[in-house]
């Protein structure tokens, strides 16, 4: 083997190792972040389920190469997507409802999830401006909206439980950056 092809080969191997290392390191980061997040005990956020945390971050393919800051952004975007679909779902079931107490409760839920969405948008905007503390405050405030909806309407337990987890993950990560 010539010296030239040998050095090309070693360069190739170095890149292979670096690339492999990058993937492993990121898998470790998600694991690490979710381990730490699930160890948090707070008065306002639910306890984060480790498996849910890992699955929710890995669900976005962009998490593969992401650093901690990137994971924070991804988790907030997941909250945004989730709140948007919950809101659409509420609007959809509201259409078929005529009975006043249920209708009223669902209208409140619609308002609450709109408020939650505003909050998440503000959190993401702050995060993009590198104001992580403000982002953390906005995202922390988001959970109370779904709680208020939940108090009035009992048909969204699964959705609001998942949503609370997603919010808690964002709160945790924006508190780590
Ligand atoms: C998770 O906690 C460990 C132990 O306290 C710490 O060394 C590590 O930096 C933390 N990871 C993140 C992503 O904050
Ligand atoms: C919200 O996120 C959870 C967890 O990723 C998922 O199971 C659920 O389907 C999502 N709900 C909506 C309405 O998008």
Residue 165 has pLDDT above 70, yes or no: yes
Ligand nearest to the CA of 38: 1
Contact 174, 139 (CB under 8 A): yes
Does ligand 1 come within 6 angstroms of the Cβ of 33?
A: yes
pLDDT in tens, 131-144: 999 999 999 999 89
Among 167, 72, 87, 59, CA closest to 127: 72
> Which tokens hold the place of 73?
């952004």
| pLDDT above 90 coverage of the chain, percent | 73
Residue with tokens 């209708």: 103
Q: In this structure, which residue's CA is closest to atom 5 in ligand 2? A: 56
Min mean pLDDT across 22-36, 46-60, 110-124, 139-153 is at 22-36
């Amino acid at each position: 083997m010539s010296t030239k092809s040998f050095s090309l080969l070693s360069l190739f191997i170095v890149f292979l190792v670096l690339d492999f290392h990058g993937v492993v390191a990121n898998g470790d980061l998600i694991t690490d972040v979710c381990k730490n997040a699930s160890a948090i005990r707070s008065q306002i956020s639910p306890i984060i389920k480790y498996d849910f945390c890992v699955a929710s971050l890995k669900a976005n393919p962009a998490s593969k190469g992401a650093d901690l800051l990137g994971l924070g952004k991804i988790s907030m975007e997941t909250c945004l997507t989730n709140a948007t679909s919950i809101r659409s779902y509420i609007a959809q079931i509201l259409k078929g409802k005529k009975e006043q107490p249920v209708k009223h409760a669902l209208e409140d839920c619609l308002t609450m999830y709109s408020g939650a969405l505003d909050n998440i948008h503000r959190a993401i905007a702050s995060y993009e401006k590198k104001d992580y503390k403000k982002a953390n405050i906005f995202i922390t405030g988001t959970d109370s909206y779904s709680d208020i909806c939940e108090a009035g309407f009992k048909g969204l337990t699964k959705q609001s439980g998942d949503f609370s987890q997603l919010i808690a993950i964002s709160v945790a990560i924006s508190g780590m950056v």
